[in-house]
Structure 1
C-alpha cells in the first residue's frame, strides 16, 4: 500500500467517524458552511469555497445519521449565519429593533435561506440513488445552480453569496464572460464534485472530467487576452463623490443644509469632469422639494459642459407614486427609476397589514413604487450608461437587459450608486462591491461606483478595481475611464448559455436514471 493509499484510507476513516454521531455531523456541517464566507470579500480566500463544499457533497451521497436535507440545511445555517450577518446590523442599528428582536429576525432570515441548501442536498442525493454515481459531476452543479436561482427570485430574491462571486479573483472568473456568475457557480460545484468522487471512489470519469474542466478554464482565460471591440478606445474624466453622511442624520431635517453644503464643497474642485457622480439618495428630499437646488446644479454643469448624475427620490403628483431615481442634470438631462426595491427598506410587503406593528416597518422613505422593467439605459453623446441603483447591481438579468436595451454600436459604461451605510461596519459593503465587479466582467464594460460611505471606486472591463476610496471618508475620486468594451459571449446571449448547460445536464441525468432502471 502506497503512502497516498494510507493517507486516503485515513481520511476516509476520519470522515466515516464523523458520520456516526448526529452532533458531530451537525457541527461539521455548520463549520463547513461557516468557512464558506471566507472565500468572499473582504477576505477573498477563494480556494476555501472548495474546502467548504467537499464535506457537504461527501455526506450528501454517503449514508449518514442525518438526512441529506438536514446536512445541507445545517451547512446553509453556517454559511448565511456568518456571511449574511450584516442583516442584523441593518435591522438593529437602523431599523431600531431591540437586540433580541433583531437577533430573532436575523435568525429567521438565515433559516429561510438555509432551506435552499437543504433542498440542494436532498435532490443531489435523490439523483445519486437513481442514476449512475458518476453523474454527480452533472447533478451537483445542476441542483446547485437551480437552488441559487430560486434563492435569487423567490419572494423578490436574495442573490447573495452565490458561489461564482467567490471566484472573482481566481482563474474561474473568466467563465463569467461566457456564462455569467451562474456559470462560474456551475464550475465551482462541478470541480468540487469531481474531487469528492476522486476521494470516495477513485473515479476515472472524475479524472477525465477534471482535465476537461481545466482545459475549459484555460481557454476562457486565454479569451480574455483577445482584442476588444474598440480600435481607438476613448476615455472620460469622471469624478465620484463620497459624502460620508451618517445614516442617523440622513433624513433628519435639521441636518439637511449641512448635507447639501458638504456635497457642493466636496464637488467644488471637480466640476470640470465629463461626469460627476453623487451617490444614491444624495439629496435627502424629493425632487420637487429641491427644485431651486437642482436649478443651481443645472447652471453649474451647463457652465462646465458637464453632467451631474445623482440619486434622488422622485414623486409623480398625477399618479401619487414615488420612485427611487437616478437623475442626470446638465448638458443632457434624463432619469432612471429603480426596478428592484429592497423589502421593508423601500417598500413594505402587505403594508396595509404590517405597517405600524413595529418601528422597523415604518422606516422613512419606505413606500416606493418599482420602475418600469423596459426602461432604456441613459444615453449620452459620449457614452451609453447602464444604471443600477444599490441592490439592483446584484441582479445580473437586470443589468444585461439594460445593456441590451441600449442603441447598438455604442461604447457602454455601468454606473452604480448606493448608500451602503445600512450595512454598518460589516462584510456587506465589500460583498456588494464584489458583485458589482462581476457585472463589469460579465458584460466586458468598465464600471463606476459612487456610494455614501464606501466602497466608492472605478472598475475596469475585467472586473479589476483600478482605484477606490477608503470607507468612512468624505472625499472625491477622479480618474480617466477608458471606454474600451469587450463583446463577451454572455453580453450577446445572456442567460441562454447557462440555461443550455442546465438543459444538457438534465438530459444526461434523465437518460442515466432511465438506463439504470432498464438494467434492473
Structure 2
C-alpha cells in the first residue's frame, strides 16, 4: 500500500482531536486504521498522527526561545509514539476488534511510568459532544471505546453493505443504527447546572522567561485581585495560576478578608499549591506528576551532558536541578487542587475526589506553549476531569485558558487568552461520587478483554 495512505489516515485522525472542532468525523479515518496494515503501516500512521497532533511543540518552543533548537524534542517524541503504534498494529494485523481493544490498553499504559505522556486519547474527540457524559461512568477510556466501537460498526456494516449492494437490507439498517448512536452522542440533552458560590480567577499573563529572570509578579496579581474583588465582592475564593508568585504579598490578608486564596507558589524545589486564609497558609500540596525533561530529568546521571548542552542552547544557564515531587494526593480543605500537567491524568482528579474534594481547582502556566494551539489542546483534555468526577472545575492559567467548567463539561465562563484580567463566575461544592470515581478504570479491563477475544476470533477465521 502506498505510503501516503497511512500518513493521510493518521493525520486525518489527529485533525479530529482537540482543539479541532471536527471530532464528529473521527470514526471515518479510524475505521481505515482499524482495517488496514500491520507493523509498517502502523508506524507511518503514527508518524502522520503524532506529527500533526504534537506540531505545537516546535511551533511554541522555536518562537518562545527564538532558536531552532526548540524543535529538537519534536522528532524523537513523534518517532517513539509511532513505534508504539507499530507494535499494536503489528500484533493485530487483520484483527480490527483486537486492535480496538489494545488501542485503549496502550492509551492507559502511556499514563504510567517515568516517561508518562498521556496525549492523543481517542475519547477526547467527544469533548465538545454531550456524549462526553459517558466519562462519568468509565472515564476517558470508555469514551475511547465508544469512538472505536462506532468505527468498528462503520467498518463491519459498511463492508457488508458494500458487498451486498442492497441499500434496504440488514447491513443498511445496521449502518443506520451505528450512525444513529453516534449522532445521539452529539445531540444528547443535558440538564442545567447552577452554582451558588462565586469564584474569582486571576490571569496575570506574564512571560515565563521573564519570571525566570526574577520579574516580580506579586504586584500584578495583587492589583488584579483588588480590581476583581471590587467587581465581585461576594467571591468566596480567589484562584491564582501555577507558580504565580515566589512569596505571598504583604497586606494580602487585609485585601482578602474572610476569603480563601489558592495560589501557585515557587519554592525553588517544589511546584507548590497553597490555601491561604486569615494571614496564614492552612494547607499545601506539592505537584506529584512532574513534566519529563522539564521539571524532572530521567536518567540524569547518564544524560547530564546532553541535558546541559540542550538547555544552554535554549538560553538557560546554571546548574540543572529538577523539582521534588509530592508524596501523595490530598485536597486543600474542600478544594481538589492539582497543577498543570496533572490535568491530563484522570487518576489525579479521581484520587483528590476520593479524598473528599468538593470542587476541582487547576492551576496552570500554559505560556510555555507560546502562540501555538498547545495551550488550548491542554485545556480541552483537562476539561474532561470535571465530567469524570462530577465536580466543578476552576481553572486559572498564567496566560489562559482561565475558565470555569461545570460537572457536565460545559464551559460556563472563560477569559480570552494572552491578556491580563480576572474572571468572576459561579460554581458549587458537590459531594456525590460518580461511578468512575468509585470504580476507576474498569473500561481498560474491558478493552483488554475485547483485545483477547479479537485475537481468538481471528484464529477461527472471523474478521471483526
TM-score by length of 1: 0.77
Aligned partner of residue 34 in structure 2, secondary structure: helix
Structure 2 CA distance for aligned equivalents of residues 178 and 224 of structure 1:
15
1:231-246 correspondence to structure 2 within 5 Å:
235-246=196-207
Aligned partner of residue 109 in structure 1, secondary structure: helix
Distance 1:447 1:175, change over 3 A: same
1:187-227 CA-to-partner distances (Å, cap 9, x unmatched) read 111211221123334496997698489669969997965x9
Distance 1:270 1:143, change over 3 A: same
Look up the match of 1:277: 239
Structure 2 CA distance for aligned equivalents of residues 216 and 116 of structure 1:
28
Does 2:266 match 1:307?
A: no
Aligned partner of residue 182 in structure 1, secondary structure: helix
Look up the match of 1:493: 439
1:88-487 correspondence to structure 2 within 5 Å:
88-94=58-64, 98-99=67-68, 101-125=69-93, 128=95, 136=96, 138-202=97-161, 211=177, 225=191, 235-253=196-214, 255-256=215-216, 259-271=217-229, 272=233, 273-283=235-245, 285=246, 290=247, 293-301=248-256, 304-314=257-267, 322-331=269-278, 333-352=282-301, 353-354=303-304, 355-359=307-311, 366-373=321-328, 375-379=329-333, 384-406=334-356, 412-483=358-429, 487=433
Structure with higher RCO (Cα < 8 A, 6+ apart):
2
Structure 1 CA distance for aligned equivalents of residues 31 and 195 of structure 2:
46
Structure 2 CA distance for aligned equivalents of residues 402 and 464 of structure 1:
21
Deviates more, 1:32-41 or 1:335-344: 32-41
Structure 2 CA distance for aligned equivalents of residues 197 and 335 of structure 1:
53
Q: CA deviation at 1:391?
A: 0.3
Structure 2 CA distance for aligned equivalents of residues 419 and 428 of structure 1:
12
Q: CA deviation at 1:144?
A: 1.0
Distance 1:162 1:280, change over 3 A: same
Structure 1 CA distance for aligned equivalents of residues 123 and 29 of structure 2:
14
Aligned partner of residue 118 in structure 2, secondary structure: coil
Structure with the larger helix share: 1
Distance 1:422 1:77, change over 3 A: same
Distance 1:330 1:144, change over 3 A: same
Aligned partner of residue 120 in structure 2, secondary structure: coil
Conserved in 1, the CA contact under 8 Å of 2:384 and 2:409?
yes
Q: CA deviation at 1:92?
A: 3.1
Structure 1 CA distance for aligned equivalents of residues 195 and 150 of structure 2:
40
Distance 1:30 1:154, change over 3 A: farther
1:42-61 CA-to-partner distances (Å, cap 9, x unmatched) read 3211123122212222323x
Conserved in 1, the CA contact under 8 Å of 2:340 and 2:362?
yes
Look up the match of 1:45: 22
Q: CA deviation at 1:242?
A: 0.4
Conserved in 2, the CA contact under 8 Å of 1:46 and 1:167?
yes
Conserved in 2, the CA contact under 8 Å of 1:194 and 1:210?
no
Aligned residues: 443
Look up the match of 1:505: 450
Structure 2 CA distance for aligned equivalents of residues 74 and 401 of structure 1:
37
State the structure with more CA Rg.
1
Look up the match of 2:43: 73
Structure 1 CA distance for aligned equivalents of residues 186 and 416 of structure 2:
33
Structure 2 CA distance for aligned equivalents of residues 456 and 432 of structure 1:
12
Deviates more, 1:108-117 or 1:443-452: 108-117
Structure 1 CA distance for aligned equivalents of residues 182 and 395 of structure 2:
32
Structure 2 CA distance for aligned equivalents of residues 205 and 199 of structure 1:
7
Distance 1:356 1:487, change over 3 A: closer
1:346-389 CA-to-partner distances (Å, cap 9, x unmatched) read 1222223414232268578852011012x31111xxxx211110
1:222-270 CA-to-partner distances (Å, cap 9, x unmatched) read 7965x99xxxx862211000001112311212x32xx222111111123
Structure 1 CA distance for aligned equivalents of residues 186 and 371 of structure 2:
36
Does 2:39 match 1:56?
A: no
Distance 1:326 1:38, change over 3 A: same
Aligned partner of residue 271 in structure 2, secondary structure: strand
Distance 1:262 1:358, change over 3 A: same
Conserved in 2, the CA contact under 8 Å of 1:314 and 1:325?
yes
- The runs of 5 or more residues in structure 2 that have no matched partner are 164-169
Structure 1 CA distance for aligned equivalents of residues 125 and 52 of structure 2:
15
- The runs of 5 or more residues in structure 1 that have no matched partner are 1-18, 20-24, 61-67, 129-135, 316-321
Aligned partner of residue 336 in structure 2, secondary structure: strand
Conserved in 1, the CA contact under 8 Å of 2:238 and 2:260?
yes
TM-score by length of 2: 0.86
Structure 2 CA distance for aligned equivalents of residues 50 and 213 of structure 1:
10
CA RMSD of aligned residues (A): 3.0
